[in-house]
Amino acid sequence: MKRSSRRTFLRAVGAGFAALPCFRLVENSFAQSMGETLPLKFVTIYHPHGIAAEHWVRRSTDTETNFDLRFENSSLLPFDDPGTYGKSFKDKIIVIEGIDLISSANGHDTAGTILTGSRIGGELKPKNISLDQFLAVEKGLGNATPVTSVALAVGTKELKSGEALSYGPGGEPLSKIIDPVKAYELLLGGASTGGGGMPDPDAERKRRLGQGVLDFIRADVNRLRSRLASAEREKLDQHLSALSDLEKRLSGPVAGGGDGGGAVSCNAKAPSSFPKLERYNGGEPYFDAITDAHIDVLAQALACDVTRFATLFLNDLSYDGNPLGLPADNHGSVAHTYSASPVGNNGNPVGPGDPSTWLPLAKFNRYSYSKVARFMQRLDELGVLDSTLIYVSSDMGNPALHSTRNVPTVLAGGANGKFRMGRRIKLVPDCPESNLWCSENDAVFQGVTNNHLLISIANAFGVEINQFGDQPDPKLNTGPLSELA
């Protein structure tokens, strides 16, 4: 949004208004009414356990633009369920069939490929930076907001490629926030309460001391950096970026950075704290509520322009008393037992599969998408769905095979019109009829990698790249996904 428009708005409402809660929201809607687009925001959501393709792929009567999401046991139902989510989001999504994550790794280690497009190395790490970090940090698109980017997760702080979406330079995983209270504190807490502009000497001293400490640390890091070889400097470059992030927090109230600045507040209700947060540590019964809390905080933060780049790693619900009525071991007893028909088996002729094993997985998939729909609903209510692009992916296609091909992929939000939404895209099959069992190393392999999608997303942010992600064969990581335009 242009500064001129913000100035116009301020003149119209008076400076005092800027101190009121959620000033930015009102300002945003004013800007939109003036025909301006809000800055594009990018959120990636991971969901576990692949997909029951039988309840996900296009129906035989569907076309690219005319399709039904309400068929029986549809896992995509939440995107067309106005009764639950206020409206249908059918025209705000693109469902893409046929995306491959070429990680060369077990499906369980492949979440790291979703945003990096990289193969996963022996230490269970990708080899390059993830797209969110590339855009937010390396290209500086996160600089304008108080929080450059944020990585949220449910249930796991672990930093292996199977459990993290965001990676810094060289493919080092970024730490994640699993506690919604901490997410709130970072994104929305400490927001200005207005107060009529009286200077607060204590706060000013606190800020001055904090700045002094940061200046010193930065100087100290630079002193050490100057003694290092280039390979080692990468570590400290990341440290310096982190210090810049901390510095933003000092310079003023959290909420409402953007290009307008000013004392803006977006006070949302703080989420209640949870007795347990971690998977395998008794956290599972709270995962559903933790997910909702993360989503609500994140939606508010995006609306208030606190940050424009986020990742959210969802988790399995499995535990006794699972609200979906799924087995306690959702992983072993649902995902592993999925017995696919050819449509869920990368197109390979494996027989009819076992429909009774599709349903529990489809139910879990629908649950995952219901969280995306909730997020869209919140963003929509806050007026920023159209300026947000949400990339939703699992790490696998067929979870019983741990296949990283034909991974369920959904783009959601308005994406500021950069992509034509409201479609179901079916990409070419990975292998030609003559060689149905081909691998990505074969010349005949024609699978479409997520690298192309990542390039398209970068282009949507105005970052003109034509290659992204560590892959040995340029055909796997060069060029945008032409179907999106």
The stretch near another protein (CB under 8 A) out of 2-10, 12-20, 45-53, 206-214 is 206-214
Give the residue carrying structure tokens 């692009």. 389
How do beta strands 407-412 and 93-100 pair? antiparallel
- Residue of the chain from 12, 198, 203, 219 that contacts another protein (CB under 8 A): 219
Q: What tokens were used for 459?
A: 């282009």
Identify residues 148-177 at the interface with another protein (CB under 8 A): 148-149, 151, 157-160, 162, 168, 172-177
Q: What tokens were used for 241?
A: 């970026």
Identify residues 243-262 at the interface with another protein (CB under 8 A): 243, 245-246
Buried b (16+ CB within 10 A) or exposed e, 376-385: bbbbbebbbb
CB of 175 to another protein, least distance (A): 3
Neighbouring C-beta atoms of residue 86, cutoff 10 Å: 13
- Residue of the chain from 60, 72, 223, 325 that contacts another protein (CB under 8 A): 223
Distance set, CA 420 to CA 226, 417, 473 (Å): 48, 7, 29
How do beta strands 388-393 and 41-46 pair? parallel
- Residue of the chain from 14, 122, 275, 325 that contacts another protein (CB under 8 A): 122
The answer to whether 340 and 347 have CB atoms below 8 angstroms apart is no
- Residue of the chain from 86, 195, 332, 432 that contacts another protein (CB under 8 A): 332
| Residue 88 burial by Cβ neighbours in a 10 Å radius (0-12, 13-18, 19+) | middle
Identify residues 64-93 at the interface with another protein (CB under 8 A): none
Cβ-Cβ contacts under 8 Å for 270 (sequence gap 6 or more): 181, 184, 188, 189
- Residue of the chain from 10, 236, 324, 343 that contacts another protein (CB under 8 A): 236
Identify residues 400-459 at the interface with another protein (CB under 8 A): 400-403, 437, 439-441
Identify residues 25-54 at the interface with another protein (CB under 8 A): none
348/459 with CB nearer another protein: 348
* Angle at the Cα of 398 from the Cα atoms of 327 and 113, rounded to 5 degrees: 110
- Residue of the chain from 24, 108, 371, 423 that contacts another protein (CB under 8 A): 108
- Is 204 an interacting residue with respect to another protein (CB under 8 A)? no
Q: 356's torsion region: left (phi>0), alpha (psi -120 to 50) or beta?
A: alpha
CB of 291 to another protein, least distance (A): 19
d(Cα 4, Cα 303) in Å, to the nearest integer?
A: 20
Cβ-Cβ contacts under 8 Å for 184 (sequence gap 6 or more): 268, 270, 271, 293, 297
CB of 453 to another protein, least distance (A): 22
- Residue of the chain from 66, 211, 273, 466 that contacts another protein (CB under 8 A): 211
CB of 407 to another protein, least distance (A): 14
242/359 with CB nearer another protein: 242
CB of 19 to another protein, least distance (A): 27
d(Cα 135, Cα 445) in Å, to the nearest integer?
A: 30
The answer to whether 441 and 431 have CB atoms below 8 angstroms apart is no
- Is 333 an interacting residue with respect to another protein (CB under 8 A)? yes
Q: How many CA atoms lie within 13 A of 99 on its CB side?
A: 33
Identify residues 336-355 at the interface with another protein (CB under 8 A): 336-337, 339, 348, 350-351, 354
- Is 290 an interacting residue with respect to another protein (CB under 8 A)? no
327/383 with CB nearer another protein: 327
- Residue of the chain from 109, 296, 470, 483 that contacts another protein (CB under 8 A): 109
CB of 359 to another protein, least distance (A): 16
d(Cα 28, Cα 80) in Å, to the nearest integer?
A: 27
CB of 230 to another protein, least distance (A): 7
Instruction: Give the count of residues interacting with another protein (CB under 8 A).
Output: 82
* Angle at the Cα of 384 from the Cα atoms of 383 and 388, rounded to 5 degrees: 160
29/337 with CB nearer another protein: 337
